[in-house]
Amino acid sequence: FEEYIDIILEGNYVEGQGWGGKYGYFFGGMQIQGICAYFYKEKHPEFAIELNRCEINSMADNPNFNANDKQKPNLCRDGREKCEDCREMDVSKILSAHFTICQKPWNCVSHWDLHSTKICSQLHSEWFRIRRDFEESRRDGSRQTPEMGGSHRPEIHFGYCISSGQRGYIPIKV
């Protein structure tokens, strides 16, 4: 843990290249995703294990670099020959999601780009289903189980969004 803190404090992050000039040139790279890759792949490879990016921390991102990218046009972001498109993943196989591209569920988004719509709506729906389960289990007098009729996209938001946008969200009472 102390070594991890030292790496952060040293600040050896190179813009466009990542931690140590190698890890973190991708979404969230300056943060936890990049520093974890750097820590385990560069500093402690004996403890590293690669996880399936579509199942763990799934982002609904394009698996390829943009065709206009001068350095890596259309190549796989993960360096493989064949790209796995996480946007086609069965949502029941996803263990954790990163809501950068799909946006945070409490922003009550219901329109995404053409390629991400299916997976993002499913991830949001699952997040709100879990929220609903949590609310139904509450015994502290703060339970909120709004009617689904009349709400914004109830098939996705389970009644917790009355309109699109963050102002439309019904927050959890604490």
Q: What is the pTM of this model?
A: 0.80
Q: Report CA-CA distances (Å) from 109 to 6, 58, 154.
A: 38, 18, 12
Q: What is the mean pLDDT of the chain?
A: 89
DSSP state of 18: E
d(CA 132, CA 141): 15
What's the burial of 33, exposed, middle or buried (CB within 10 Å: 0-12/13-18/19+)?
buried
Q: How confident is the model at residue 146 (pLDDT cuts 50, 70, 90)?
A: confident
Question: What pLDDT does residue 27 have?
Answer: 65
Indicate if the pLDDT at residue 24 is higher than 90.
Answer: no
d(CA 169, CA 62): 28
**What is the rounded average pLDDT of the residues 89-108?**
94
Query: Of the given ranges (20-24, 78-82, 91-95), which has the lowest mean pLDDT?
Result: 20-24
